[in-house]
Structure 1
């Protein structure tokens, strides 16, 4: 979806990140190579799937069990589309 936003912004004459900030979820490989590179949130879909299956099986076995909250860790990968690429480059030096 974020790639579509980048394309629509370009067609509308908007500049990312000057006029519009864009971020995505899933950190697919293409995010690194888009123009501008796409800020993204990386998380483990595999871990989320395992936890969802575990919770479903628990619910089937214990229909009245107390609900359980699961947090799947995620990491923000800042890139040029959020206007923070310069900050990221400086922090690596």
Structure 2
């Protein structure tokens, strides 16, 4: 079965763990993680592909290096926004 996916969303989600490990003073609760992803994705280009279940990993892996610098930059900027204005107490 074919699926429509935004590869950038998968790559951002995978990279959030790396960013949070390097910034241990930033909250890593589920809400903050989603806020980080939302802010970063709003500042990155979308990259939709039509793929089958088995091809998702292959396609994301191939594109990861291409977008890695942009994703890290967007997540670093998102960290500044989310840490200044968290949506929880």
Q: Same fold (TM over 0.5)?
A: no
TM-score (norm 2): 0.25
Structure with greater proportional helix content:
2
Q: Which structure has the bigger radius of gyration? A: 1
Higher relative contact order (CA 8 A, sep 6+): 2
